[in-house]
Amino acid sequence: MKRIAIVGGAGRMGQALAQGLNALAQITVAALVDVHEPRESYGARYHELLTGVEPSGVDAVVDFSNPEGVVVSAAWCAEHGIGLVIGATGLSAEQRGAVEAAGAKTGVVMASNFSIGAVLSERFAAMAAPYFEGVEIIELHHDKKVDAPSGTSLAAARRIGAARKNAGMAPLVDPTVRHTVAGARGADAGDGVMIHSVRLPGLVAHQEILFGGPGEGLTIRHDSYDRQSFVQGVALAVLAVSSTPGLTTGIDSFIA
């Protein structure tokens, strides 16, 4: 039985994880950490700060709070040799450096998306990339998401770019030469892969990867209709982090 502390436990994602993970036979939620008291504790103890958690009472920390909170969690987990699973996105180079430093002392898993379907869609996109002339990404999220583009779409774009490069393909070139409205063609995530971000109330997390070639197209779409869609992926990371030294980026390696 893995005992975990969830940092950001009062937030929408933290509450969804507490509910879903606590229902699994292999995991128990021992602590919810947040400056705000959570609506539901699911049998866990509430702590305002991670420093208030007894290290001997948890086997792993799950952090879906924010980049600043991740740095604190990384230092605490490194100090106590406790595994860390990170779902927060938008980290700066300096903040990522703190995570990498923690990875030198304990197991750390950091992923932009813990949905099994989203991870598989990236895998399928990398398989398709060498066979199509063009590709663009549309990512759609709820209107409370503060960063754009999403970490998931950036990870997909990098994987597609790497697959194209490995196949000897040149970076994509946007044929558009006249922009009536600046930014209408989205943002270049590297190697010419364009990302378009949508933010609307009612959405959760959705992504379309659109490929185009002579006479045909391929669309790989994934939809998370509820935050429970991330629970199984987080569970995979929690169960693996203690036996996976260093920093692991993404959960793809945990999916057979």
Segment 219-236, tens digit of pLDDT: 999 999 999 999 999 999
DSSP H or E stretch at residue 47:
strand 45-47
pLDDT value at 81 more than 90: yes
138 beta partners:
196, 208
Given pLDDT bands bounded at 50, 70 and 90, which one contains residue 89?
confident
Q: What are φ and ψ of residue 171, in 5° steps?
A: -55, 150
The catalytic residue among 105, 142, 145, 165 is 145
pLDDT value of residue 254: 95
| Same domain as 104, residue 31 | yes
**Which CATH number does the domain housing residue 172 bear?**
3.30.360.10
105 is catalytic: no
Query: Tell me: the pLDDT tens digits for 133-147?
Result: 999 999 999 999 988
Question: Model's pTM, two decimal places?
Answer: 0.84
Confidence of residue 164 (pLDDT cuts 50, 70, 90): very high
- Quote the pLDDT of residue 90: 84
Residues 148 and 248 both lie in one domain:
no
CATH code assigned at 55: 3.40.50.720
In the numeric block, which tokens belong to residue 190?
Answer: 């590297």
Asked if 215 and 134 sit in the same domain, the reply is yes
Instruction: Assess whether 88 and 14 both reside in one domain.
Output: yes
- Tell me the two tokens of residue 215: 């006479």
Spatial neighbors of 35 by CB under 8 A, at least 6 apart, are 10, 48, 49
DSSP string, 219-249: EEEEEE-SGGGGHHHHHHHHHHHTTS-SEEE
Contact 165, 191 (CB under 8 A): yes
Q: Do 66 and 49 fall within a single domain?
A: yes
Confidence check: pLDDT of 112 > 90 = no
Q: Are 98 and 186 within one domain?
A: no
Instruction: List, for residues 165-188, the tens digit of each pLDDT value.
Output: 999 999 999 999 999 999 999 999
Q: How confident is the model at residue 256, as a pLDDT?
A: 81
Question: In this model, does residue 33 exceed pLDDT 90?
Answer: yes
Range of the domain at 192: 116-224
Number of domains in the chain: 2
What is the average pLDDT across 93-117?
Answer: 96
* Same structural domain, 139 and 89: no
Identify whether residues 18 and 98 lie together within a single domain.
yes
- Residue 210: name the closest of 169, 172, 167 by CA: 172
Burial of 162 (0-12, 13-18, 19+ CB in 10 A): middle
Q: Which of 141, 196, 206, 222 is catalytic?
A: 141
Q: Do 69 and 87 have their domain in common? A: yes
Is the pLDDT assigned to residue 151 strictly greater than 90?
Answer: no
Of all residues in the chain, what percent carry a pLDDT higher than 70? Answer: 100
Q: Is the pLDDT of residue 65 over 90?
A: yes
Q: How high is the mean pLDDT of the chain?
A: 96
246 half-sphere exposure, CB direction, 13 A CA radius: 3
